[in-house]
Structure 1
Amino acid sequence: MTATNTTVAPFPAGCTAVRGPLLHFIAEPGLNAPDPSAHEYHADGLLVVAEGRVLANGAAAELLPRLPAGTEVEQYPDSLIIPGMIDTHVHMPQLAVLASYGTQLLEWLETYTFPTEARFADAAWAADQSQLFLDLLLTHGTTSALVFSTSHKVAAEALFSAAEGYNMAITSGKVMMDCHAPDGVRDETEASYQESRELIERWHGQGRQRYAVTPRFAATSTAQQLTYAGQLLAEYPDVLMQTHWAENHAEIAWIKELFPERSSYLDVYDHFGLLGARSVLAHGIHIDDGDRARLAETGTRIAFCPTSNTFLGSGLFDLASARAADVEVGLATDVGGGTSLSMLATMAEAYKVCQLRGQSLNPFQAFYMATLGNARVLHQDDSTGNLAPGKYADFLILDRSASPALRLKHEPERALQAMLFDLMILGDDRAIRRTYIAGQCRYDRDSVKGAALNACISG
C-alpha cells in the first residue's frame, strides 16, 4: 500500500501575511437568531496575500508553517481583520452638503444639492473632489461602492480615473436628468444617452470599474430619457442601474402627478424596463406588499439608507418585511443626505430603525450586509465581500479600542457577538486602523496615508 503524501505545499515567495482575530461571512446569518455556520472566525487568524489576491485565510497555527522563510507577518492581536466594507448607495459630489440643516427631500435637493453639483462641470474640480471622496471612503473602511456622480460626463470620468489609480472597485455613472432641474445640472435627452454609451464603452469592465445607468429619479427624467435608460440596459445587459424610489411622501405624490397613467411609482420604472436583478433602488420606504412581490419577482434590489432616512425625516424602512418577501437589501450611507461615510455608523442607525419598527438586527447580520451581502447586491461577490481564496485582498484592520467608549467595553476574551455589537454601535472612522485595496495599504490611520486627504487636512 502506497502512503499518501499529506504535506501541504508552501506559499510562494513574495506573499505577505497579516495575523490577528479574523472574521468573514460565507452566507447570510439572518436578522434574528444568527446561523453560526454563516461565518468563519479565527481568534488567532492569518490572512495570506499574493499579487493582490487572497491566497488563504485560517488559523495562524495551521498556516504559519507554510510561509516562506523570512516572510514578515503584520501582527494585530487586539484588532479585528474583516473584508473591506461596501456601500450600495452614496453620492460623490455631495461631500459639501453633508449635515446641511433643516429641510426634507425635495427642498433639500433644490437648496443644497443642485447648486453644489453644478460645480462639477469643471473638470479640475471634479478630479480633486473625486480623489478626496475616495480617500475619505478609505478612511471610513469602505473599499468599493455604488456611486452617484453628477450629470456631467467629466465628473464620471474623473471618478473612474481616480478609482482606477487605486485599483478600487467603483460602480458609477453619469446622472441622467433632463427636466425639473435647474441650469447647470439639467442635461439634454439625446446627449445624455450618447454620453452614457461613451462612458460605458470606455469604463465598464476597465480594470475593476463598472458602469451603472443612473436616472436620478423618475421626476427628473422625461419619458424619452427613461426610455433611453431602458435601452441602455438592453444594449449592455451586464451594466447596473441605480436610482431613487419611494423615499418621501411629497416625492411619491409628485410622481403620481407626473405619471398618472402608471399604477404606482414602481410601475413607472417597470414600464420603462428599469427593474431587474442588476437594478438597485435607493430607499423604498413607503411601499406595500405588491411592490415587494414585484421586486422579488424581478430580482430588483433595495439600498437601505438609514442615516439619510432619519436625517431628512423620510421614514423608517421595513427591513424584516423586505427580507420576508425575498427582496435583496443592501446597506448604504447615502452621503450627503446621510450623515456619515462610516458603514459602522450606518449599521448603528439601521439597528435603531429596526428597533423603532419592533424588529431586530443582530450584529452578525449587520456586518454581513456591509460586506458579503452588499457584494451580492452589487453582483461582485465573485471578487469581493469575503476573504475566500482567489478574491481581491480588500480588507480592514479594525481597532477594537479606538475610542474611550470602545476601550471601556474592550476585554481580551470578549465574545464575538459582543465585540461586533460594540464596534457597530460605538465605532466610527477612528476604528479604521488600516484599509487595504488588492493587498496594498491605501489608508493607515497612524500616518494618514492618502494624498488628497492630507491636502484636505492641511487646509
Structure 2
Amino acid sequence: MSKPSRAIRGRVLTFNDDPQTAGSAAHEFIEDGLIVIAGGHIAEVGEAPALLAKLPDSVMLDHYPDGLILPGFIDTHIHYPQTQVIASYGAQLLDWLERYALVEEQRFGDPGHAAAVAGFFLDELARNGTTTAAVYCSVHPESAEAFFAESDRRNTRMVAGKVLMDRNAPAALQDTAERGYAQTKALIERWHGKGRQLYAVTPRFAITSSEAQLEAAGVLLREHPDCYMQTHLSENRREIETVRALFPWAENYTSVYDRFGLLGPRSLFGHCIHLEEGERRLLSESGSVAAFCPTSNLFIGSGLFDLAKARDPAFPLRVGLATDVGGGTSYSLLRTLAEAYKVLQLQDQNLPALEAFYAITLGNARALGLEDRIGSLAPGREADVTVLDAKATPAMAHRCERIETLEEELFLLMTLGDDRAISATYIAGERRHVRSGG
C-alpha cells in the first residue's frame, strides 16, 4: 500500500457483524480513534495517541473532537431522475408514476440535463453522508452514461443501470427488447468494473417489461454474472393485480421474475411489502435482497414492511435499507432510519440504534455483496467515511445534555438527525463534503 496521505481523528464506530445476532461483539468503538488513509484505502485504525506517534508530519490530519466517525452510508434503492419530483402531492404508486415520475424522466434523453442532475444528485448524497447507492437511471442510455461519467470523475462506488421499459409507458420512454438489450450490453462493457463503477441490469418492473424484455434481461445476467439486477416487487396492491392480469400463467408476482432467471444473490428487489409465503420462499432460497424503503412506502401509501417476517427462520430474507427518492421523501439515511423505526413500531416491532447503523453501513454492504470493499472501517477497505455530529441543531444539543451511552447518542442521531448532522463525507479518502461552518 502507498504512503499515508490523510488521517481522520475522532470517536470511531464500526461493525464487524449484525448486532441482532452477534450482540455487543458486533461493533467496535474507539473513544479517541484514528483512521489512517493511503491510496484511497484504510491503512490502519486504532487508538489515536499510538498511531499519531508514528505518523509522518506530511500526513494531513482532520480532527473532529466530538465527531462520531462511521463508514460511509449505503443506499440500496434510489432513482436519480426523480430529484425534481420528490415531494409531489397526492397519489399512490401507479398514479404517481404516471403523473410525476414518467413525465420527469422524459427529460433525460438530453445529455446536458442528465449530466447536470447527476452532479446535483451525487452532491446531495455526499451532503447526506451517503457514499454508495444502487441507482436507477432513466430508459435513455444517455442518462446512464452521464451518471457513470460523473460518478467516475468523483471516484464514488456506485451501482447503476439504464431502465428497461418496452410497454405500458409513454412512447418517449419505451425501448424494445432488442434495443434495451443492445444498449445495456454496451453500457456494461463501457462501465462495469471501470474504476469504482458497477452495473445493474434494470427492468423497471414487470408491468413495463414484456416477456421478451424480461427474457433479454435474464440473458444479460447470464452473460454478465458479476452484474447486479434491480427492479421493483410487491410495492402496491393495484400493482400486484396488474401483474396478475399481465402474466396470468404466473403463480405470483415473484414467480414472474423467477421464470426469466432474475432472482439471485446479486438481485435487488425494491419494497417487497405484500409477499405471499411462496414468494418469500423463492426470494429466500435464491438469496435475493429485499430493499426496505420506509419513507416511500408511507408517502405513497403502499404499506408497512414486515421485518420480523423477513427474519422468519423458515424463509429468511436478505434485507437492505433504502431511501427510494423520489417516492421517498429524503436523501438522508438518518431520516430513513427514523421512518423505519416508526413503521416497525406500528407492527409491535422495534429497531435498536446499533442495528439501525449496522443496516446502513455493513448491513447494506453485505446486501450488495461488497462487504470486502466498503461498509466497515478496517485496514484494506476503501476509505469511504462519514462524520456525524450529534449536537448539530439546538434541539439535538439540548437532548445531548442527558445522553449517557453510545446507543442513546445513535438513537438521537437517527431520530432527530438529517443532513445537518453530517459534519463531513470522505470518498476514497478525499473529503468531498464538509458542512458549512464545519
TM-score by length of 1: 0.93
Q: After superposition, what is the alpha-carbon deviation per residue over 1:73-106, rounded to whole angstroms, capped at 9, x for unaligned?
A: 3221111001000000000000111010000000
Q: Are 1:114 and 2:102 counterparts? A: yes
Q: Name the CA distance, whole Å, in 1 between partners of 2:60 and 2:298.
A: 46
Q: Name the CA distance, whole Å, in 2 between partners of 1:170 and 1:69.
A: 33
Q: Are 1:228 and 2:223 counterparts? A: no
- Residue identity matched to 2:13: L
Q: Name the CA distance, whole Å, in 2 between partners of 1:45 and 1:321.
A: 38
Q: Are 1:206 and 2:197 counterparts? A: no
Q: Are 1:353 and 2:304 counterparts? A: no
- Residue identity matched to 1:299: G
Q: After superposition, what is the alpha-carbon deviation per residue over 1:22-57, rounded to whole angstroms, capped at 9, x for unaligned?
A: 1010001118xx700000101111111111110111
Q: Name the CA distance, whole Å, in 2 between partners of 1:371 and 1:362.
A: 15
Q: After superposition, what is the alpha-carbon deviation per residue over 1:351-388, rounded to whole angstroms, capped at 9, x for unaligned?
A: 00010111111111110110111011111111100111
Counterpart of 1:270 (choices 258, 265, 274) is 258
Question: Are the structure 2 counterparts of residues 46 and 101 from structure 1 closer, same or farther at C-alpha, using a change threshold of 3 Å?
Answer: same
- Residue identity matched to 1:101: Y
Counterpart of 1:288 (choices 276, 279, 284) is 276
Counterpart of 1:368 (choices 358, 363, 366) is 358
- Residue identity matched to 1:137: L
Q: Name the CA distance, whole Å, in 2 between partners of 1:231 and 1:13.
A: 44
Give the equivalent residue in structure 2 for 1:129: 117
Alignment of 1:230-249 (within 5 A): 230-249=218-237
Q: Tell me which moved more, 429-438 or 67-76.
A: 67-76
Q: Name the CA distance, whole Å, in 2 between partners of 1:39 and 1:61.
A: 21
Q: Is the 8 A contact 1:304 1:329 kept in 2?
A: yes
Alignment of 1:291-302 (within 5 A): 291-302=279-290
Give the equivalent residue in structure 1 for 2:417: 427
Counterpart of 1:254 (choices 242, 247, 250) is 242
Q: Name the CA distance, whole Å, in 2 between partners of 1:231 and 1:136.
A: 34
Question: Are the structure 2 counterparts of residues 65 and 86 from structure 1 closer, same or farther at C-alpha, using a change threshold of 3 Å?
Answer: same
Q: Which runs of 5+ in 1 are unaligned?
A: 1-10, 449-459
Give the equivalent residue in structure 2 for 1:439: 429
SS of equivalent residue, structure 1 residue 22? strand
Q: After superposition, what is the alpha-carbon deviation per residue over 1:100-148, rounded to whole angstroms, capped at 9, x for unaligned?
A: 0000000000000111000001011001111111001110110010000
Give the equivalent residue in structure 1 for 2:328: 338
Give the equivalent residue in structure 1 for 2:53: 65
Q: Name the CA distance, whole Å, in 2 between partners of 1:187 and 1:176.
A: 7
Q: Name the CA distance, whole Å, in 2 between partners of 1:359 and 1:58.
A: 36
Deviation at 1:412, TM superposition (A): 9.3
Q: Name the CA distance, whole Å, in 2 between partners of 1:363 and 1:84.
A: 17
Counterpart of 1:76 (choices 45, 49, 64) is 64
Question: Are the structure 2 counterparts of residues 48 and 225 from structure 1 closer, same or farther at C-alpha, using a change threshold of 3 Å?
Answer: same
Deviation at 1:189, TM superposition (A): 1.9
Q: Name the CA distance, whole Å, in 1 between partners of 2:169 and 2:2.
A: 56
SS of equivalent residue, structure 1 residue 381? coil
Alignment of 1:355-434 (within 5 A): 355-411=345-401, 414-434=404-424
SS of equivalent residue, structure 1 residue 58? strand
Give the equivalent residue in structure 2 for 1:169: 157
Question: Are the structure 2 counterparts of residues 377 and 12 from structure 1 closer, same or farther at C-alpha, using a change threshold of 3 Å?
Answer: closer
Deviation at 1:447, TM superposition (A): 6.4
Counterpart of 2:76 (choices 70, 85, 88) is 88
Q: Tell me which moved more, 60-69 or 151-160.
A: 60-69
SS of equivalent residue, structure 1 residue 48? strand
Q: Tell me which moved more, 276-285 or 15-24.
A: 15-24
Q: Is the 8 A contact 2:5 2:60 kept in 1?
A: no
Give the equivalent residue in structure 1 for 2:9: 19
Q: Is the 8 A contact 1:19 1:44 kept in 2?
A: yes
How many residues end up aligned between the 2 structures?
436
Q: Which runs of 5+ in 2 are unaligned?
A: none
Q: Is the 8 A contact 2:18 2:26 kept in 1?
A: yes
Provide the alpha-carbon RMSD of the alignment.
1.5
Q: Tell me which moved more, 409-418 or 224-233.
A: 409-418
Counterpart of 1:308 (choices 261, 275, 296) is 296
Deviation at 1:14, TM superposition (A): 4.2
Give the equivalent residue in structure 1 for 2:307: 319
Q: Name the CA distance, whole Å, in 2 between partners of 1:323 and 1:314.
A: 21
- Residue identity matched to 1:38: A
Q: Name the CA distance, whole Å, in 2 between partners of 1:198 and 1:329.
A: 30
Alignment of 1:185-196 (within 5 A): 185-196=173-184
